[in-house]
A and B are shown apart, each in its own frame.
Chain A
Amino acid sequence: MKSLSEQWVRAHAIRAPHIVVLGLGDGDHLREWLAENESSRITVIETEAVKIAQCENQTWASSVDFLHIVTSDALMEHPVMKLMAEKMPPVLCFQPGYGSSKALYDEYFKILTGRNLRGLNYFLDYLGFNGERSIEVSLGGRLITIKELGLMIDTHHSGHQRATAIRVLRELVI
């Protein structure tokens, strides 16, 4: 029977030179992922410092940047946001690492992928969309519409983290 970490790696079969992972856990999933992506790099965001301390001396830790971030405000100020805007690496979630921090990690996910107002504003500012923008938020924060860009973003989809959450679709998808 595959371990949780192996299952996680199978479920996240994304190949990229750099990924961001939310949740450190015991670090096994990072080790497994790096075993299949030897030349890649991981930035992991974790809310509990003790977990980082347990992992940062492991042999595989040389390919990992450990970030201890405890609030979404701190995330917005952290240089990792610039990394996200510059390289737009995939953001993967390690659910067992959530625990009581699930809501916070959900918020991190949306910021890092641009699926809420704060994150989206950051990306748009970085891409040079400055000045007045007509951004509307509706359905209790679920739907973001940016009229100037012709974008509609569904930030939430059936409660499943990995379900398709983009509603740019109507303008970009055939």
Chain B
Amino acid sequence: MRILVLSLLRVGDLFQQRPLLKRLRELYPTADIEVVTNLSCLSSKKLFPEITAWHGFDRDRFQKSLGTAEIPLLAPVVDLENWIAGFTSEPIDLLLNFTHNRLSAQMAAMIPAREKRGLLAEVRGFRVFENSWLRHFNDRFSVKNGTPFHYAEALAGSFAIDLPAPPVSETKGSTVFVQALTSDQKKNWSLSSWKNLVDQIRLERPELNVKVLGAEFEEEKLLTVFESEDLAILDWEHLQVALQKSQLLITGDTSVKHLAASLGVPILELALGSADPFRTGVYAKNAFVLHAAVECAPCVHSQPCRQMSHLCGENLSLKDVVRTTLQILSGDEPSPPLNKKIKLYRTDFVAGAGWMLSANAVDAVDQAAWKLALDGEKIPALGSTAWELKKLLLREDLQVLQKEQRELEERLSQAESSLKQIGRQLLAGQHEAHLLQEVRRAMNSVTSLSTRVRRHLLDLNEVGIEPFPSPLHFYGAFKKRIEELKVRTEMRGKLIQQLLLGEKEHGKESGESSDGSLKTLGEGV
């Protein structure tokens, strides 16, 4: 069997996809698993023993030829076809497009394969709606607060790959590594701050070896503040070896972070600029994140900082980072940062819900409900999910969940009623602009709702602001989103009922409550 994976983003994304590639190898132990990736990612290929072959795509040349007037218009297309022909003489059984952008969709369409999954360009657009996870990924992943899931899990769901729990971070040695530079200036903490951090760690913990990581092209910049003996300039293979002997990695949002996460290395991430620890944070358990939760964060990756100064970096004080670092190194639970604009999170994994940042019960139940709804009929896990989750629950948590459930059901009912009105109007051959305006106003009044509920209503809110060519188009889009919300809301309701049922039975059996957990049904619930 021949499996081809399209991974045409950056090396950090490839590292985030590593759990999926490993799982593919477990599922297809005798298959040839091959990866199409950008040339710039090939330097990391030895870190992926599960991959049989690599096909490097010269994206820079392709992009340049598209934008060069002297190159005939269709030359890049023909070149691409010829390049693909070079590795598709043997039939491909399964093509998986892990990339989810236009170029990969075009490439996926051009590559002959018996079965194709993921975003695919077709004559009349892009095919993406083959499963609910892929649709969720397509519609929500790039929207702020659009999804509760980590990138790895959303991607795995899109390809029906069941991932094991992420690794648990564990100390492996006595070296503290610092990754001071990222690919985007906005994500960088100042080099002088990094220097001061290294000095402080050495002062407080002289028995530890502290090294500053960098690639060859970063060395010159690092030497502007660090001494050469401070640096560890390593290629990917040596970096992996080094990280596996580390006590802690302190890093910005970089590919090194994702590599370390996959190895179970203890990590403290400094999430600045466009870093989004909720979606692409350290995919491991028991890592820590200091996140500058200023209003503009996370900002857009490919654009310069729009503030007068680097607000997020300025708010991340040396004092907070030093204190958190030393507490982690001592094995203590880190204290909340002194600056209230900086949030400290611990990564976690909750069975039934998935990876989370600073898991709390309400978020976990909500996330689990999302997962159950997206997994659809094929999961029998409602009862077992409830069983796992009720261990986390306090009485107040269930009260919050039920309140939010009522809000969701109200909004759903309101939306269904509006949909019926619009439908009647359309059948009568009429449409009134003011009716659409009313719907839009109603859908947009969400400020009093929690972030969790607003996330559920995101699709409906977008319907309220998107332009549509006609009321009929609006009706169709609105109807589809209501149906999806209904599935999620019902699943959420079922999960809450299971949790209530579990507590009711617990109350009958024991007649008493355990410390901190939800007491018998009916008490204030």
A112 at the interface (CB under 8 A from B): yes
By a CB distance below 8 angstroms, the chain A residues around B74 are: 88, 114, 123-124, 127
Number of A-B contacts defined by CB within 8 Å: 76
Q: Contact check: which of B63, B73, B75 meets A173 at CB < 8 Å?
A: B63
Known: A88-B78, A169-B66. A112 touches B72 (CB 8 A): yes
A74 at the interface (CB under 8 A from B): no
Q: Are the CB atoms of B102 and A171 closer together than 8 Å?
A: yes
Closest chain A residue, CB of each to CB of B121: A171
B449 at the interface (CB under 8 A from A): no
Count of residues in B whose CB is under 8 Å from the partner chain = 21
B119-141 interface with A by 8 A CB criterion = 121, 123
Q: Are the CB atoms of B70 and A84 closer together than 8 Å?
A: no
By a CB distance below 8 angstroms, the chain B residues around A164 are: 67-69
B384 at the interface (CB under 8 A from A): no
By a CB distance below 8 angstroms, the chain A residues around B71 are: 88, 90, 113
By a CB distance below 8 angstroms, the chain B residues around A93 are: 70
Give per-residue flags for B40-81: 1 if the beta carbon is below 8 A from chain A beta carbons, else 0: 000000000000000000000001001111111111111100
Instruction: Tell me the smallest distance from the CB of A132 to a CB of chain B, in Å.
Output: 14
Give per-residue flags for A116-147: 1 if the beta carbon is below 8 A from chain B beta carbons, else 0: 00001001100100000000000000000000
Known: A84-B72, A88-B72. A166 touches B66 (CB 8 A): yes
By a CB distance below 8 angstroms, the chain B residues around A157 are: 69
By a CB distance below 8 angstroms, the chain B residues around A53 are: none
Docked Cα-Cα span, A126 to B76, in Å, equals 16
Most buried by A among B67, B69, B71, B76: B69
Docked Cα-Cα span, A150 to B67, in Å, equals 18
Closest chain B residue, CB of each to CB of A163: B69
Q: Are the CB atoms of A90 and B70 closer together than 8 Å?
A: yes
Q: Are the CB atoms of B73 and A120 closer together than 8 Å?
A: yes
By a CB distance below 8 angstroms, the chain A residues around B123 are: 148, 150
Closest chain A residue, CB of each to CB of B73: A114
B101 at the interface (CB under 8 A from A): yes
Known: A113-B72, A123-B73. A172 touches B67 (CB 8 A): no
Instruction: Tell me the smallest distance from the CB of A118 to a CB of chain B, in Å.
Output: 13
By a CB distance below 8 angstroms, the chain B residues around A173 are: 63, 66-67, 102-103
Q: Are the CB atoms of A168 and B66 closer together than 8 Å?
A: yes
Closest chain B residue, CB of each to CB of A162: B69
Known: A88-B78, A173-B102, A173-B103. A168 touches B73 (CB 8 A): yes
The 7 closest A-B pairs by CB, nearest first: A88-B75, A114-B73, A90-B70, A88-B72, A113-B72, A164-B67, A165-B69
By a CB distance below 8 angstroms, the chain B residues around A103 are: none
By a CB distance below 8 angstroms, the chain A residues around B67 are: 164, 166, 173
Instruction: Tell me the smallest distance from the CB of A74 to a CB of chain B, in Å.
Output: 19
A12 at the interface (CB under 8 A from B): yes
B106 at the interface (CB under 8 A from A): yes
Q: Are the CB atoms of A172 and B106 closer together than 8 Å?
A: yes
By a CB distance below 8 angstroms, the chain A residues around B63 are: 173-174
Instruction: Tell me the smallest distance from the CB of B98 to a CB of chain A, in Å.
Output: 15
By a CB distance below 8 angstroms, the chain A residues around B73 are: 113-115, 120, 123, 153, 166, 168
Docked Cα-Cα span, A132 to B440, in Å, equals 43
Q: What are 30 A-B pairs with beta-carbon distances under 8 A?
A: A12-B70, A14-B68, A14-B70, A84-B72, A88-B71, A88-B74, A90-B68, A92-B70, A93-B70, A113-B70, A114-B72, A114-B74, A115-B73, A123-B74, A127-B78, A150-B121, A161-B69, A162-B70, A164-B67, A164-B68, A166-B67, A166-B69, A166-B73, A168-B73, A168-B77, A169-B66, A171-B102, A172-B102, A173-B63, A173-B66
Instruction: Tell me the smallest distance from the CB of B364 to a CB of chain A, in Å.
Output: 36
By a CB distance below 8 angstroms, the chain B residues around A112 are: 72
Docked Cα-Cα span, A113 to B79, in Å, equals 15
Docked Cα-Cα span, A124 to B63, in Å, equals 21
A91 at the interface (CB under 8 A from B): yes
By a CB distance below 8 angstroms, the chain B residues around A88 are: 71-72, 74-75, 78-79
Closest chain B residue, CB of each to CB of A173: B66
Instruction: Tell me the smallest distance from the CB of A86 to a CB of chain B, in Å.
Output: 10
Docked Cα-Cα span, A173 to B64, in Å, equals 10
By a CB distance below 8 angstroms, the chain A residues around B121 are: 150, 171
By a CB distance below 8 angstroms, the chain B residues around A170 are: 102
By a CB distance below 8 angstroms, the chain A residues around B103 are: 172-174
